[in-house]
A = this chain, B = another copy of it.
Amino acid sequence: MGVTIKDIAKAAEVSYSTVSKALRDSPLVKEPTKQKIIKIAHQLGYQPNVAARSLVSKKSQTIGVVWPTIERVTHSALVTGLNKQLEELSYTTLISINEMEDAINTFNRYQVDAIVAFNEKNSREPAKSTVPIVTYGIAHEDSPFPTVDVNRKQAIQTAVDHLARTGHRSISYIGDMVQEDHLQEEKVEGFRQAIKDYDLELNSTSIIKVNDLASYDGYEAMKELLKKTDHPSAVISGSHDLSKGILRAIQEAGRSIPEDISIISYDNIPATEDLELPLSTVGVPLSTITEKLSEILIALINEETVEQSIYLKPELNITQSCKAWNGGETNE
């Protein structure tokens, strides 16, 4: 059924090794011959057989992505971005949603050139792999693979830093921390520390926990917060979805952004144009993450050494949703 290089050879009346060279654009074959072969290959709808090719070349030009929990949407934008990036580097991306270990085995059998794993739950014993692996996520020291992670703590600190420098004294953080999720803890930790560093007030409404990461939770939390007479002049939100709800609550309450309240949202998503108001964000841009990941992948494939742990630095992106604070409270 499949048309092979030999079929082309027959049709073009040359040897199959010439066809191979012609299709790989080798200078060893004369231009007219090359053209003829390419044309015939195209006519016959030839698709090279990866099995055969990677068998001999020991390379598959393919990267495996281990992504066990597709249902949590967190990483989908990242996977999409990575896919695009790798495509430009002429790599094909394959995704497996099996458990880390199974997925790695599958990819090993498939002779992918390297693997990216989304290390959600701290994986137990590292799977044996003949293929280099880079993980994205919680970078614990004893990880058997190089890890790329986002510095969440620093992100929130950066946000507080900006707000404090622009006069805000009363800042709240709204985030989810119900699930014993290390990633979320890190953000809260960053908040606490920054508040302390700037000697800002820390009271019962400074850190507001929400139950889930949906937009509605942000909405409710902000609604509650606005009921208090002494609500903060700035709010930092732990996720994009929460921020959506927060914006709604503020608008519904007839307050205005940034006059009454400034907002900064933790975020990795590229744009954020689905909102009426362009949101100030802090976080590592998706493109930075995908660039770093592909860079490491390529390095690993070329058997270069790479750093064991890489913490990407968040970037602050301030828009109309933030404003310096000089009213309301007594300034010194």
A79 and B97 contacting across the interface, CB-CB below 8 Å: yes
* Any B CB within 8 A of the CB of A268: no
Give the docked Cα–Cα distance between A96 and B87 (Å).
Answer: 12
Question: Which residue of B79, B94, B95, B248 is within 8 Å of A216 (Cβ)?
Answer: B248
Nearest CB to that of A57 among chain B residues?
Answer: B51
Contacts of A97 in B (CB 8 A): 79-80, 83, 93, 95
Question: Which residue of B54, B94, B216 is within 8 Å of A245 (Cβ)?
Answer: B216
| Given contact pairs A2-B130, A71-B80, A50 touches B93 in the complex (Cβ within 8 A) | no
Contacts of A215 in B (CB 8 A): 214-216
Per the CB 8 Å criterion, the residue count for chain A at the interface is 43
Give the docked Cα–Cα distance between A77 and B50 (Å).
Answer: 30
Contacts of A106 in B (CB 8 A): 92
List residues 174-188 of chain A with CB under 8 A from any CB of chain B: none
| Given contact pairs A55-B49, A215-B214, A76 touches B80 in the complex (Cβ within 8 A) | no
Nearest CB to that of A48 among chain B residues?
Answer: B109
Nearest CB to that of A212 among chain B residues?
Answer: B274
Question: Which residue of B47, B51, B219, B244 is within 8 Å of A52 (Cβ)?
Answer: B51
Contacts of A70 in B (CB 8 A): 70, 76, 79-80
B95 and A49 contacting across the interface, CB-CB below 8 Å: no
Contacts of A214 in B (CB 8 A): 215
Give the docked Cα–Cα distance between A248 and B50 (Å).
Answer: 53
* Any B CB within 8 A of the CB of A85: no
Give the docked Cα–Cα distance between A50 and B53 (Å).
Answer: 12
| Given contact pairs A92-B106, A214-B215, A111 touches B79 in the complex (Cβ within 8 A) | no
List residues 1-53 of chain A with CB under 8 A from any CB of chain B: 1-2, 45, 47-52
List residues 77-129 of chain A with CB under 8 A from any CB of chain B: 77, 79-80, 83, 87, 92-98, 105-106, 108-111, 128
Q: What is A's interface to B at a CB cutoff of 8 Å?
A: 1-2, 45, 47-52, 54-55, 60, 70-71, 73, 76-77, 79-80, 83, 87, 92-98, 105-106, 108-111, 128, 130, 214-216, 219, 244-245, 248
Other A-B contacts than A71-B80, A94-B94, 9 sampled, CB-CB below 8 A, are: A50-B109, A51-B51, A55-B55, A95-B96, A95-B97, A214-B215, A215-B216, A216-B216, A216-B244
